[in-house]
Structure 1
Amino acid sequence: MQHADRDLPLTRDLVLIGGGHAHALLLRMWGMTPLPGVRLTVINPDPVTPYTGMLPGFIAGHYQRAEMMIDLVPLARFAGARLILDHACGLDRSTRRVHLSSGRPPVAYDVASLDIGITSDLPRLPGFADHAVSAKPLAGYAARWQAFLARGLAAPRVVILGAGIGGVELALATAHRLRSTGARPQLTLLEQAQTALPHIGNGARRALLAELAAADVHLLTGTKAAGLTADGVTLQDGRQIAADFILSVAGARPHDWLAATGLDLQDGYVCVTPTLQSSDPAIFAAGDCAHLTHAPRPKAGVFAVREAPILLHNLRVALAEQGRMRPYQPQRDYLKLVSTGRRNAVADKLGLRLSHPWLWRWKDQIDRAFMAKFTTLPAMPARRLPTPAAAGLAEALGPKPLCGGCGAKVGARDLATALAPLPAPQNPDVLSGPGDDAAVLRHGPGFQVLTTDHLRAFTADPALMARITALHAMGDVWAMGAQPHSALAQITLPRLSPRLQAETLREIMATATKTFRAAGADIVGGHTSIGAELTLGFTVTGRAERILTKGGGTPGDALILTKPLGTGIILAAEMARLAPQDLLLGEAVAAAFASMCQSPAEAAALLTPVAHALTDVTGFGLAGHLLEICTASGTGAILDLAALPLLPGARDLAAQGMASSLAPANRAALHGQLDAPDTPETALLFDPQTAGGFLAALPAAKATSTLAALHAKGITAARIGQLTEGPAHITAR
């Protein structure tokens, strides 16, 4: 929901480390009632986080993967939070900063909360890292499980380490799923204790042991694995158990980096008081990574869920520095619903036991109701126009919010009209002005190129915006065959307190400096100001011995594109919370960010020596920039729509009618100069790209070898068509 108080200056930083159940629920509640003046940040390595309650059902085949994943990307937008996709690896409590494993600048906090879960790996078990997978973190296990199923083994052999509730539940789910495919599985469940299922009532234990026997799961207790190999498990007594898939549900332990935080720990878990505060009052913890000193409990998701409202209240008190915190008192016992693979469940509470299919249906209803909290977020209220208003206001505002990045550019026709009256350069050292990717200046025996680019923020993560904007700005330099040399930064910050201004500038400049220096350039100055929203820009100079332009293409040249299309449509979908059909929205957004963050320097180095014409694909879309090449070169072009590389989810979104706010203007600019069928791929020809790839026209004889060289560097490049005899016209088929 949108709130007017979100336009107020931000003065305090709240950082949520981890996307566990407590933090996911907190984000939803925060979106309903944010605390004015707080900048909320979420740090999590993945854009989606699994719901543990549905994992056994997913393994058994009762749920699709997307049904058990909480998508943090739309949840963060709803909460007004910036989402940083990275691993936290340390806390500097003296400076109140979170360190990240990627090496990006640390993130400042005034108040922080930990909900990072636990891991179930066995690092000291020889061969574990190479030959096994842990049940936690769940995302990696889910991916490995799907890959194992895809192998389609007729008699798969599975070994599961750990016969607690989780191990038994997953063993039964595994047996059910494999048999449903027609396979004849051999399942072994290992437990080093003498008794399986130690934390459950006797009646429920007997029922689950009977389920294991009926599923033909071989249970071995009082034994321990000594090592793992590609062929299976070696037990301490020397016996060998063959395995095609090894899963650990044993060895649950906290994340290693917590030991270096200086916080009070119990067996590696963060000790918290009834208010969920650690030994450092500015750091809270919830979920499995926390140890309740006043009321120790086993690790279970039910406690994280019930901690969420208490955590939210106490964080608000800490940030506002007023009010009274509430204590969290966990229930002494809780209902355990253990699924048995088939659509049945065993219930255990206070030693009582029930087993019936209706328990599965009840559990299914509970789990789906929980997930519905994140899939049916309240709708954003529509913006109301004032009455009366000037004529044309509704048309100027448009039917959808303005996109960020290159989706916020002025349309090609309007820009051409504005630039048309500019006079030709008078300075003899200015060899070209508007019209190509960068201006060309005479510089001794060679050339200097000059360009500038600015991006309206499409993410609240300033470091991510800094890297993408820097690469985007340097793209014009590389497209001219030049090497970046120096840059000026232009930064508009939203309204922040002086301390938050300094922290934000620190993240921006550290990231930008690292990005430019990797390209051989230096930031030599710039300008900052305060405005309505974050906008970043860089003016970049470059040097070249030979200039590449858009006008050097010849008929017969092959057209090569070095990055997939779809950044504009995916960013627009993220603003509208519209997911593609084939994957979660957060995963599509993460793939788009990864593409935008990939430096095009290596692609430029491979293309510059062989290209006749080169440009970077940005705001005017592939079709618009290809038409610029055709117009400048006096050629036409043929595009193979089936050959276009596309970002995951882009085609599905185009088929649903999603488009960036700039796409209609890009389409109008091609009127009469493009023949193409009405398909999703055609729609993506008009999609504005931010930090997009290069479009190169090069001799057809060099296309295959150049593509091979690009692919060897890990660059997603494709041959998408060729230049033809003029006039300037594009045929897509």
Structure 2
Amino acid sequence: MLLNTVPLTRDLVFVGGGHAHALVLRSWGMDPLPGARLTVINPGPTAPYTGMLPGHVAGHYGRDDLEIDLVRLCRHAGARFIQDKAIGIDRSRREVILEGRGPVAYDVASIDVGITAQMDLPGFDAHGIGAKPLDVYAARWRAFLEQVERNEASPEVAVIGGGVAGCELAMAMAFRLRKIGAPPKVTVIEAGPRISGVGSKARQTMLAAMAALGIEVRTDARVTEVRADQVLLAGQEPVRAALCVGAAGAFPHGWISRTDLPLEDGFIVVGPDLGVKGDDALFAVGDCAVMPHAPRPKAGVFAVRAAPILQHNLRAALTGGARKNWRPQKDYLKLISLGEQSAMAEKFGLTLTGSFMWRWKYRIDRAFMDRLSDLPIMAGPKPPDTAALGVRDILAAKPLCGGCGAKVGSGVLSAALEGSAPMAGEVITGAGDDAAVLRQPGGGFQVISTDHLRALVEDPVQMTRIAAVHALGDVWAMGARPQVALASIVLPQMSAELQARTLAEIMQTTREVLEAAGAQLVGGHTTMGAELTIGFTVTGRREEMPLTVAGAQAGDVLILTRPIGSGVILAADMEGRADGRDVAAALEIMGKTQDREAAILGKVAHAMTDVTGFGLAGHVRPICAASDLDAILWRDAIPVYAGARALSDAGISSSLMPSNRADASMQGGEDLLLYDPQTAGGLLAAVPASDRDTVIAALEAEGCQGHVIGQLSKGTGQLTLG
């Protein structure tokens, strides 16, 4: 039978989440190129929008208004997102070298990483902050504001650079400091004889606006050193500053200068088609690139205008089509914020100033951000005109989730396993617990379990890490030491070259996770199918009888090592409704091993399990049922992933949640997150109440988390929410 997919044959890689790449991602989601696998590499899950930075600094915009959600854009575009920093490119091997993981191969790649304002001045690295990258500066500014509000820092700021960017930020910072009641002392330091980047009329307008905000402008001032509390100038009095911001020019990222890319003053040389000079497989756009035939200032407007040409030429490079040339405009509209909700516009020497210009700028900025946040919902496949009874009901229901959200409900599974009692002999326990327990002829016990996950993210590396941690959870939950693993991999249909690349990433990640847990990969099986699916069969050893769900005692407290709510976040991510920062934070936790937690809990727990597909309530219930106990769960003590509560309250849930809810009802109230299926969820241990403080302290000492979420008592298996 033929697979109902187009095989993947080419890797397209975006290095950086700049404005041009963000716009291409939006368009790609509406018209993807069949056969191309798109990857986006960026240090963070969001990227700041240049145009709204001064407004954010001044307090007119919140952080969410400023940031482009790259995770949501990648989900919309069907792209895999890699949160990491590029540190090099090997053009002979066509690989992007990353700081925190193995290289990423490409057939075609595009670079849009912007610039930095980090300055080569004595003391600047230790005591200064560049105005770019914008996200780094914005985070430092927010931290500085908090320090000023707590009287831990004086409201003294020095801005090195009297161009448009430096003056605009100086006005924004002065306005915000005034707004929080801290009389500011902001100084702009310019090496030239006057502030630059605008005409004489616009210059006078900016100087007047800065004077009204109490900003001092030092011209013909050469910085010799930046210290913790002041900036030293040659032949002038020092400038006192608790915060020093560098905005004197645009500097290329250092890692680019260490490549063999064609460069001009450290910037990547591109031709009229935005292709890197002499390399048909590489493109560069935005401030990190330079066009010698058409020099232009470093301004975000050019990256925005270049996006349609970049998209066309990327598709041409992937399909063998003809490329188009881009002709940047010679002049562009400068819209400069003046601190308050007032702005100045300059073009062709004409200048306009006032609140109406701010409203115009606001509409332009909001329209740009709306394009990248109000993503169109793409229609799914139409149901067949004629189908068997029940088909339309299933197709009309919530789409099947990835990870543990795709599991069969516990009620259906229990019925299927009924009568599967363990045989006499070496098998101690079989189906019904986290893993089967086998008696070893030489003494001790072995546990064995298997698990696999439908892809919940597009990145095979992150997916492998989560799947391996998820499978190992069954071994850790029984207090056993991981031993060996067999991998079971289903790849989407793809070319032999992409198979090799993908399997190399999966196997490398598998070995890393297993070796960190003290286990080794001993084999497995691969095949191609409709979607990426990764699973592992794992074994572990324990000298004494492994922990099971049985054995808990009245009075034991329940300790949970991880938040709940991953199923809601992943379901919202599928719908394009999750905050990318929340998705990235949850995935990072899900990919961490729990060997330290298991070692601590395994020494004292009476019973233990890991919280996975059946949700927290569905995993507490077997502990209670096995020992005739009731459990009270303290709602406010249960940790929840950031963003999950709001999403759940908004009606978002995993496709498995209704089944979990039906199989494990609560008394005394309800919280839908208790039925949320977890992937690579936390360990849940029943621990003597007398040991709770010691256990929590031991977990904290190892850098782990432990939350006392409830207590057990004599009863009949009832769960109560308190």
The TM-score with structure 2 as length reference comes to 0.96
Most deviating of 343-352 and 109-118: 343-352
Supply the AA of the counterpart residue of 1:136.
K
Q: For the Cα contact (< 8 Å) 1:494–1:531, is it kept in 2?
A: yes
Q: For the Cα contact (< 8 Å) 1:645–1:717, is it kept in 2?
A: no
Most deviating of 349-358 and 447-456: 349-358
Q: For the Cα contact (< 8 Å) 1:105–1:511, is it kept in 2?
A: no
1:132, CA displacement in angstroms?
2.7
CA–CA separation in structure 2 for the residues paired with 1:442 and 1:396:
44
Match of 2:564 in 1: 565
CA–CA separation in structure 2 for the residues paired with 1:652 and 1:226:
51
1:438, CA displacement in angstroms?
0.7
CA–CA separation in structure 2 for the residues paired with 1:6 and 1:339:
52
Q: For the Cα contact (< 8 Å) 1:163–1:191, is it kept in 2?
A: yes
Structure 2: 5+ residue stretches without partners: none
Supply the AA of the counterpart residue of 2:681.
G
Measured at CA, do residues 178 and 499 of structure 1 come closer, stay the same or move farther in structure 2, by a change above 3 Å? same
Match of 2:21 in 1: 23
Q: For the Cα contact (< 8 Å) 1:564–1:716, is it kept in 2?
A: no
CA–CA separation in structure 1 for the residues paired with 2:131 and 2:690:
51
Match of 1:223 in 2: 221
Match of 2:643 in 1: 649
1:237, CA displacement in angstroms?
4.3
CA–CA separation in structure 2 for the residues paired with 1:571 and 1:407:
9
What is the total number of aligned residue pairs between the two structures?
715
- Which residue of 32, 35, 59 maps to 1:34? 32
Match of 2:710 in 1: 721
Match of 1:307 in 2: 306
Most deviating of 603-612 and 345-354: 345-354
Q: For the Cα contact (< 8 Å) 1:121–1:251, is it kept in 2?
A: no
Match of 1:523 in 2: 521
Q: Which aligned pairs between 1:583-622 and structure 2 lie closer than 5 A? A: 585-622=579-616
Measured at CA, do residues 365 and 523 of structure 1 come closer, stay the same or move farther in structure 2, by a change above 3 Å? same
Match of 2:464 in 1: 466
Match of 2:50 in 1: 52
Q: Which aligned pairs between 1:688-703 and structure 2 lie closer than 5 A? A: 688-703=677-692
CA–CA separation in structure 2 for the residues paired with 1:562 and 1:153:
33
CA–CA separation in structure 2 for the residues paired with 1:630 and 1:401:
33
Match of 2:206 in 1: 208
Supply the AA of the counterpart residue of 2:620.
L
1:158, CA displacement in angstroms?
1.5
Q: For the Cα contact (< 8 Å) 2:76–2:576, is it kept in 1?
A: no
Match of 2:181 in 1: 182
Q: Deviations over 1:179-233 (max 9, x none)?
A: 1222211111112223222x21111111111111111101112223333333333
- Which residue of 143, 146, 151 maps to 1:150? 146
Q: Is 2:700 aligned against 1:711?
A: yes
Q: For the Cα contact (< 8 Å) 2:221–2:236, is it kept in 1?
A: no
* Partner SS for 2:57: helix
Match of 1:139 in 2: 135
CA–CA separation in structure 2 for the residues paired with 1:634 and 1:545:
27
Q: Deviations over 1:392-433 (max 9, x none)?
A: 22333452110000111111111100000324324x111110
Q: For the Cα contact (< 8 Å) 1:429–1:441, is it kept in 2?
A: yes
CA–CA separation in structure 2 for the residues paired with 1:98 and 1:437:
40
1:84, CA displacement in angstroms?
1.0
CA–CA separation in structure 2 for the residues paired with 1:69 and 1:388:
46
Q: For the Cα contact (< 8 Å) 1:621–1:666, is it kept in 2?
A: yes
Supply the AA of the counterpart residue of 1:601.
D
Q: Is 2:105 aligned against 1:111?
A: no
Q: For the Cα contact (< 8 Å) 1:557–1:700, is it kept in 2?
A: yes
Q: Which aligned pairs between 1:494-533 and structure 2 lie closer than 5 A? A: 494-533=492-531
Q: Is 2:719 aligned against 1:730?
A: yes
CA–CA separation in structure 2 for the residues paired with 1:116 and 1:55:
17
Q: Which aligned pairs between 1:422-433 and structure 2 lie closer than 5 A? A: 422-426=420-424, 428-433=425-430
Supply the AA of the counterpart residue of 1:342.
E
Supply the AA of the counterpart residue of 1:703.
R
Match of 1:675 in 2: 667
CA–CA separation in structure 1 for the residues paired with 2:710 and 2:112:
49
CA–CA separation in structure 2 for the residues paired with 1:5 and 1:227:
64
Supply the AA of the counterpart residue of 2:438.
L
1:129, CA displacement in angstroms?
3.2
CA–CA separation in structure 2 for the residues paired with 1:181 and 1:212:
18
Measured at CA, do residues 9 and 193 of structure 1 come closer, stay the same or move farther in structure 2, by a change above 3 Å? same
Q: For the Cα contact (< 8 Å) 1:98–1:108, is it kept in 2?
A: yes
Supply the AA of the counterpart residue of 1:119.
T
CA–CA separation in structure 1 for the residues paired with 2:550 and 2:691:
19
CA–CA separation in structure 2 for the residues paired with 1:106 and 1:300:
31
CA–CA separation in structure 2 for the residues paired with 1:475 and 1:194:
66
1:261, CA displacement in angstroms?
2.1
Q: Which aligned pairs between 1:308-457 and structure 2 lie closer than 5 A? A: 308-322=307-321, 324-397=322-395, 399-426=397-424, 428-443=425-440, 444-457=442-455
1:153, CA displacement in angstroms?
5.6
1:238, CA displacement in angstroms?
7.5
* Partner SS for 2:675: coil
Match of 2:117 in 1: 120
1:515, CA displacement in angstroms?
0.8
Q: Deviations over 1:235-290 (max 9, x none)?
A: 34474433232222225311111122211101111000101111322110000000
Identity %: 54
* Partner SS for 1:468: helix
CA–CA separation in structure 1 for the residues paired with 2:422 and 2:518:
32
CA–CA separation in structure 1 for the residues paired with 2:611 and 2:222:
57
Match of 1:167 in 2: 166
CA–CA separation in structure 1 for the residues paired with 2:690 and 2:298:
63
Q: Deviations over 1:607-653 (max 9, x none)?
A: 11111111111111111111111112221111110011111101111
Q: For the Cα contact (< 8 Å) 2:8–2:35, is it kept in 1?
A: yes
Q: Deviations over 1:486-507 (max 9, x none)?
A: 1100000001011111111111
Q: For the Cα contact (< 8 Å) 1:91–1:99, is it kept in 2?
A: yes
- Which residue of 638, 653, 665 maps to 1:659? 653
Measured at CA, do residues 210 and 274 of structure 1 come closer, stay the same or move farther in structure 2, by a change above 3 Å? same
Measured at CA, do residues 5 and 109 of structure 1 come closer, stay the same or move farther in structure 2, by a change above 3 Å? farther
Supply the AA of the counterpart residue of 2:92.
S
CA–CA separation in structure 2 for the residues paired with 1:509 and 1:540:
15
CA–CA separation in structure 2 for the residues paired with 1:406 and 1:234:
59
Supply the AA of the counterpart residue of 2:688.
P
Q: For the Cα contact (< 8 Å) 2:13–2:109, is it kept in 1?
A: yes
Q: Which aligned pairs between 1:216-295 and structure 2 lie closer than 5 A? A: 216-237=214-235, 239-250=237-248, 252-279=250-277, 280-295=279-294
Q: For the Cα contact (< 8 Å) 1:6–1:37, is it kept in 2?
A: no
Supply the AA of the counterpart residue of 1:711.
E
* Partner SS for 2:166: helix
Supply the AA of the counterpart residue of 1:128.
F
Q: For the Cα contact (< 8 Å) 2:87–2:255, is it kept in 1?
A: yes
Structure 1: 5+ residue stretches without partners: 580-584
Most deviating of 137-146 and 340-349: 137-146
Q: Deviations over 1:432-483 (max 9, x none)?
A: 1011111111122111110111000011100110111111111110111111
Measured at CA, do residues 34 and 215 of structure 1 come closer, stay the same or move farther in structure 2, by a change above 3 Å? same
1:563, CA displacement in angstroms?
0.8
1:382, CA displacement in angstroms?
4.8
CA–CA separation in structure 2 for the residues paired with 1:148 and 1:556:
48
Q: Deviations over 1:111-131 (max 9, x none)?
A: 000000011112x43433333
Q: For the Cα contact (< 8 Å) 1:10–1:38, is it kept in 2?
A: yes
CA–CA separation in structure 2 for the residues paired with 1:25 and 1:7:
26
